[in-house]
Amino acid sequence: MKEIGQQLAEARDSMGVTLDEAATDLKLKPSQLENIEAGNRSAFKDVFELKQIIRDYAKYLSLEYEKLEDDFNEFVFEYTSKIPLEEIAKANEEMKEKERDIVSPYTIEHKRKFKHLKYVILIAIIIIAIITILVINNIKEKREVESVHFTDFTIWE
């Protein structure tokens, strides 16, 4: 990245263009061009924006922007291939959390009031089934008791 910045700075100096003039012509902040010429990639949040600025700056300075673009792509590849997998996984998790937080003001968020509603319903059904079985058994026992009393009773003697 520093080599790209040096090439751009040398080309700008050889043309006799100041940093402020170039920034004004490209509709950029002078600090952005300073960071590019210094090779400070971390000053830019978006790699694609940085690539576009380098491309525009190279065109402005009449340089072979394709070669600078290829050099930048190699730099990005080398930089990203050195990132540990743990950091990538962590960044993915953070992005998922941000996506969950982003909601339209018109979206109604349904919150579950009962997290374990299925289990409560299942337990209620089991309790009702047990009570029903007990009541039915109790009724059967009463009928058997009543029928036993009537068998000993004789009407005609």
In a domain, 64, yes or no: yes
Q: What is the mean pLDDT of residues 113-134?
A: 90
Report pLDDT for 153. 54
- Please give the average per-residue pLDDT across 136-153, as a whole number: 70
Q: Is residue 118 part of a domain?
A: no
Grade residue 101 by pLDDT with cuts at 50, 70 and 90: low
Banded pLDDT at 127 (limits 50, 70, 90): very high
Q: Is residue 139 in a domain?
A: no
Residue 52 maps to a domain: yes
pLDDT band at 126 (very low <50, low <70, confident <90, very high): very high
Residue 80 has pLDDT above 80, yes or no: no
Residue 95 CA, distance from chain mean position: 3
- Does some domain include residue 76? yes
In-domain check, residue 106: no
Tally of structural domains, the chain:
1
Is residue 25 assigned to a domain?
yes
Give the structural domain span for 37.
2-85
Evaluate whether residue 104 is within a structural domain.
no
Q: Give the residue-averaged pLDDT of 101-122.
A: 72
Q: Sign (positive/negative) of CA torsion 141, 142, 147, 152?
A: positive
Tell me the CATH number at 76: 1.10.260.40
